[in-house]
């Protein structure tokens, strides 16, 4: 560095000498001063280390690296977005919504009754069947054998369809979600049949977080609509012995799922085997005041609705319209539905 400064001084002296020969002494201070000002500037720059000089230009550095960071963020965002379009998430192209404090995928819509949707969690398949929007006659006619007065026939309309699990929740599914145990090697296909309503609801909440879907227990209306599958008979899919495990043929024990015939929408074990929890609160005369469109059950009530009968129930208790309260059935099984996330109304 000292050599460079010395060389610079010699060059400056030669310039001064040439200047003296070309002009008078009166003009020399002006030009000499100009050249002389350059010396400390060059010396200062030369004596600064590379890092110190770079640091002096911190404003340009921040702008440069800040711009690169913003470009990286933009690229990353576009990559993730485009990646989701070409990946599996394209099937769920409606995007994500918020449910509580976790994101949920919007449910894809089916095209026809019984259409199949398979989701996987922890290596276990959850097979759902599509129940299209429509209406049906809920309850039972007075001529139906074994009916109760609370089964008043009434019209129910669904504004949108829903996906329902084709079987009851099995022990394999239950242990995988609630206990963190994967029983896929044991192939435990027996339905859970001795859980409380609160435990069933907790399962839905936990599985919903895992699948990133809104998972719920079916409403009583959804349950019967899925059970009937465009059929008005007491047992949908055939005679009781062909579609249900009941007290007369079960041998007093629960049986693996899908061993009996399913209904028109390929939904199994809606009659017998394990009784099933519904989301609704139970009220004896609810059918009289039930709204026609998308009923959710009474707002108040101490107990919950149980549907489908069980392997310990008599045949009339396994009918499509038969309903029980939590007072009689303390423990039961259940199946789940995937629901649509309602669109938020735009503020005017």
pLDDT of residue 19: 54
Domain segments of the chain as ranges: 2-47, 91-338
Length of the chain: 348
Which helix (H) or strand (E) segment is 337 a member of? strand 337-338
Structure tokens at 241: 């012995």
Residue 105, CB half-sphere, CA atoms under 13 Å: how many?
18
Instruction: Give the pairing type, strands 276-281 and 134-138.
Output: unpaired
Q: Are 204 and 336 in contact (CB under 8 A)?
A: yes
SS3 227: helix
SS3 250: coil
| Cα–Cα distance for residue pair 206/189, rounded to 1 Å | 20
Which residues does the chain have with pLDDT short of 70?
Answer: 1-61, 76-104, 181-187, 340-348
As a 3-state breakdown, the chain gives helix, strand, coil percent values, each rounded to 5, of: 35, 20, 45
Separation of CA 345 from chain center = 21
Which helix (H) or strand (E) segment is 53 a member of? helix 50-56
Give the global pTM: 0.69
User: Which residues touch 38 (CB under 8 Å, ≥6 apart)?
Assistant: 12
CATH code linked to domain 91-338: 3.90.1580.10
């Amino acid at each position: 560095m000292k050599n460079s400064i010395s060389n610079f001084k010699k060059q400056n002296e030669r310039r001064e000498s040439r200047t003296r020969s070309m002009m008078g002494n009166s003009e020399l201070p002006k030009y000499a001063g100009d050249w002389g000002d350059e010396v400390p500037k060059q010396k200062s720059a030369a004596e600064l280390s590379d890092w110190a000089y770079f640091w002096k230009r911190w404003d340009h550095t921040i702008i440069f690296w800040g711009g690169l960071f913003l470009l990286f963020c933009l690229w990353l965002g576009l990559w993730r977005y485009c990646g989701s379009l070409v990946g599996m998430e394209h099937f769920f192209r409606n995007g994500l919504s918020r449910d509580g404090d976790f994101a949920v995928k919007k449910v894809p819509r089916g095209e026809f009754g019984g259409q199949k949707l398979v989701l996987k969690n922890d290596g276990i398949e959850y097979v759902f069947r599509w129940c299209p929007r429509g209406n049906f006659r809920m309850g039972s006619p007075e001529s139906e054998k074994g009916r109760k007065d609370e089964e008043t026939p009434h019209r129910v309309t669904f504004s949108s369809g829903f996906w329902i699990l084709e079987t009851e929740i099995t022990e394999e599914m239950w242990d995988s979600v609630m206990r963190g145990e994967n029983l896929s090697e044991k192939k435990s296909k027996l339905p859970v049949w001795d859980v409380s309503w609160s435990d069933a609801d907790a399962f839905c909440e936990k599985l919903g977080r895992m699948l990133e879907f809104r998972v719920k227990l079916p409403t009583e209306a959804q349950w019967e609509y899925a059970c009937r599958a465009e059929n008005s008979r007491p047992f949908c899919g055939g005679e009781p012995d062909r579609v249900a495990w009941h007290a007369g043929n079960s041998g007093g024990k629960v049986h693996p799922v899908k061993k009996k015939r399913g209904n028109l929408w390929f939904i199994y074990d809606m009659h017998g085997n394990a009784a099933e929890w519904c989301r609704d609160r139970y009220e004896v005369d609810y059918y009289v005041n039930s709204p026609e469109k998308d009923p959710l059950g009474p707002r108040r009530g101490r107990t919950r609705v149980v549907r489908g009968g069980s392997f310990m129930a008599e045949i009339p208790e396994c009918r499509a319209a038969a309903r029980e309260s939590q007072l009689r059935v303390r423990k039961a099984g259940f199946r789940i539905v995937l629901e649509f996330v309602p669109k938020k109304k735009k503020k005017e």
